[in-house]
Structure 1
Amino acid sequence: MRRSASVTSVSWIPSEAISGLMKIPFSLGVGQYDDPPPAELGDLAAWRDADRFRFANRLEAWIEVDDRGQVTAHGYAGGGLMGSTTVRVGPRSITFAAIAYPDLQREPERGDGCVRFEQTVGGRTGAPMPRAVNRPPFLQLIAPTVWTTLQLTLHADGRAAWQLAGASPFPRHWVYDEGGALVAKSGLTDFSRWSQECFGDHSPWGDVASPAVVTLAETALERTLSAAIMRGGAKPRVRTLAPGEELVRQGDPAGPVFLLLDGVLDVLVDDVLVAEVGPGAVGGERALLEGGRRTATLRARTPARVAEASGDQVDLHALRRLAEGHRREERRGHQPVG
């Protein structure tokens, strides 16, 4: 009997993710940020042709299982898909094809009734990216390397488990399960470290395989609110938090609603860690709607960026729906955010 499964990562450039001098071309419209991909995985080739992502990694694998439940054969399928980069100057535009590196498919690791597969996909844009770097030769013209490393474990009884085992610090990486549902994402993007370090041998094709900070995907309602906050009328205030810095403290008076743009926040109640949240999480709505106080302390576990929006910048009906969803989570024993 053949058993198979898949997992896919899609990588894209979120708004406000680029820092330093390299942000200027994006602010002028020469470069472009990406809209968040849909929550359901579509046709990757069509997404690439529509310039919806920078690159994608689709790991597919299979095993053959005999009547005794023993794995008798196994193999890979799938692979990488690189997007392109379009540079716009006035009415003109130039599109640079990406340079794909060879897909790295590790020799499958056999265990007791299971096989683990690992695949790394990536490359770099063909567009030049001149910049100073912190090691010889101290100047680079070609763009840094991007990648994701996915793992997929297939069990003889039909179970499958996936993991985002590693990724470049930039851009954002989203993970979709076999059914095409968005299930996780990289929790932290670090443009500065990526541009400074990820060239030459500093990649999985050389001597570096950077681990990824992974968080669960936010809800569909949070994605809708995120778009409203970032692309609505007034531009939200964006705060930067250092690791250990508090965004809000339990018991504080109500304040703005917040959207976590990047990083991971710890959620503490009575100074006890009860949860963590990653990019896309929206919180603080209950204190705003009810005029109460913050129900939890939110503390940055990693460097973080947070957008803040007042009540007149968001859809209050959507906030009420989000608050009700958080109440249901609380009744099930999960802590709401802020």
Structure 2
Amino acid sequence: MLAPPCDGRVTPSCEAAVVPTVETMRVTSHLTSVSWIPSEAVKGYTKPAFTMGIAHYDEPPPDTIDDLEALRAADAFRLAHRLEAWAEFDGGVLVDHGARGGLIMGSTTVRLGRLGVTFAAFSLPDLRPEPEIGDGWIRFSQTVGGRTAMPLPRRSSRPPYLRLQSPFVWTTLSLTLHADGRAEGSLSGASPFPRHWVYGADDTLAMKAGLTDYKTWAGQEGAESTPWGDEDSPVLVTAAETALEREMSALIMRGGRKPVIRSLEAGTVLVRQGEPGSSLFLLLDGVLTVDVDGRALPELGPGAILGERAVLEGGLRTATLTASTPVRVAEASPDIIDVAALARLAEGHRREDSLA
């Protein structure tokens, strides 16, 4: 005799046929990028405007972003970018999704004596292509940008061979949401200048562009070499430095005696293991490789403080540091930093111990 239909009832004879209900999982996350002009980053014939105080460099953004609008009102950045996304999965299958966000363009203040004039910025349309969808994941991408309204005289290869408009600034953020609740963010493209920092879902600094290229950026002819001309610029992304290093960076750059700014071509050795040395270095721009006893350690990006172990441990360099890209460093005397702070920094910099 045939068994009666189960009709969704849980009985000994029907238990194996019951399909458990899977609740829909909603995954949300966000990314924020902030673009700013770091100290000593401007080169060429436009640099005097910054050194004379007509234009200004920006203070490094905070470790945690609490209020973007307050930072914008304080003229603390040139461009900010926010990407928020959500996705719903049912049994690992994407059933719905959405994204929002966009550009928060900063202003530019120019000062002549006691007078200050603030220029509004020009924004380009946000670019938000259809998201990529895979097995149990979805990836959102968004590009925002524009240019400051302040005239920036620069040479051009086209008549009349002089451009007054500033080049375009932009960032491209990507955010991948997974059915298991994970979220992964990245800075997948950006203008060569200025500096770009990226904050994660907890609004703390997570990553940064490792290299700025003012010359290439200033030579931009138009939108052809931007995402609005279907050409994004790849970006070298590095991990964020520690909060202690950011505190020390401020002391090195603005704590009294001005540091010596050095520029290195790719392949140049900054310091060599075993050689004497007493200077501290702040990596302003670019990426350095680290070699200890012939072993390669993780690379270092902008914001890293270098050289403290030679100061504390007998005056000999403990690693060889080589520029893997063009690099700018600030060289300073170690006496501007408290010895106890240097010791804390050195304890966190025993990078070779991780390979033991």
Q: Compute the TM-score of the two structures, normalised by the length of structure 1.
A: 0.95
Q: Aligned equivalents of 2:157 and 2:327: distance in 1?
A: 23
What is the aligned length? 332
* 1:181 aligned residue (182, 194, 204): 204
Identity of aligned residues (%): 59
8 Å CA contact 1:104–1:119 kept in 2: the answer is yes
Question: Residue 37 of structure 2 corresponds to which residue in structure 1?
Answer: 13
8 Å CA contact 1:271–1:297 kept in 2: the answer is no
Question: Residue 53 of structure 2 corresponds to which residue in structure 1?
Answer: 29
Q: Aligned equivalents of 1:73 and 1:124: distance in 2?
A: 35
Question: Residue 147 of structure 1 corresponds to which residue in structure 2?
Answer: 170
8 Å CA contact 2:278–2:334 kept in 1: the answer is no
Pair 1:162-2:185 in alignment:
yes
Code of the residue aligned with 2:86 in structure 1: it is W
Pair 1:301-2:324 in alignment:
yes
* 1:282 aligned residue (305, 309, 320): 305
Question: Residue 55 of structure 1 corresponds to which residue in structure 2?
Answer: 79
Code of the residue aligned with 1:236 in structure 2: it is P
Structure 2, unaligned runs of 5 or more: 1-24
Question: Residue 220 of structure 1 corresponds to which residue in structure 2?
Answer: 243
Q: Aligned equivalents of 1:200 and 1:136: distance in 2?
A: 17
8 Å CA contact 1:257–1:285 kept in 2: the answer is yes
Please state whether the residue corresponding to 2:343 is helix, strand or coil: helix
State how 1:205-284 maps to structure 2 within 5 Å: 205-284=228-307
Q: Aligned equivalents of 1:111 and 1:138: distance in 2?
A: 48
Q: Aligned equivalents of 1:134 and 1:291: distance in 2?
A: 54
Question: Residue 64 of structure 1 corresponds to which residue in structure 2?
Answer: 88
Please state whether the residue corresponding to 2:227 is helix, strand or coil: coil
Q: Aligned equivalents of 2:111 and 2:219: distance in 1?
A: 25
Please state whether the residue corresponding to 2:72 is helix, strand or coil: helix
Code of the residue aligned with 1:156 in structure 2: it is A
8 Å CA contact 2:241–2:303 kept in 1: the answer is yes
Q: Aligned equivalents of 1:116 and 1:280: distance in 2?
A: 30
Q: Aligned equivalents of 1:100 and 1:75: distance in 2?
A: 23
Q: Aligned equivalents of 1:134 and 1:288: distance in 2?
A: 49
Pair 1:194-2:211 in alignment:
no
Offset, 1:140? 1.1
Q: Aligned equivalents of 1:274 and 1:60: distance in 2?
A: 35
Code of the residue aligned with 1:241 in structure 2: it is L
Structure having the higher Rg: 2
Please state whether the residue corresponding to 1:201 is helix, strand or coil: helix
8 Å CA contact 2:297–2:352 kept in 1: the answer is no
Offset, 1:136? 5.8
Structure 1, unaligned runs of 5 or more: none
Q: Compute the TM-score of the two structures, normalised by the length of structure 2.
A: 0.90
Q: Which moved more, 1:284-293 or 1:12-21?
A: 284-293
Q: Aligned equivalents of 2:280 and 2:221: distance in 1?
A: 35
Closer, same or farther in 2 for the Cα pair 1:289/1:210, shift >3 Å?
Answer: same
8 Å CA contact 2:288–2:322 kept in 1: the answer is yes
Offset, 1:88? 0.5
Q: Deviations along 1:236-269, whole A, 9 cap, x unmatched?
A: 1111000000000111112201110100001112
Q: Deviations along 1:24-79, whole A, 9 cap, x unmatched?
A: 0001100000000000112111111111111111111111222x221111111121
Measured on the aligned residues, the alpha-carbon RMSD in Å equals 1.4
Question: Residue 15 of structure 2 corresponds to which residue in structure 1?
Answer: none
Q: Aligned equivalents of 1:165 and 1:175: distance in 2?
A: 11
Q: Aligned equivalents of 2:159 and 2:241: distance in 1?
A: 41
Closer, same or farther in 2 for the Cα pair 1:276/1:136, shift >3 Å?
Answer: farther
Q: Aligned equivalents of 1:135 and 1:219: distance in 2?
A: 45
Runs of 4 or more consecutive aligned structure 1 residues displaced over 6 Å after TM superposition = none
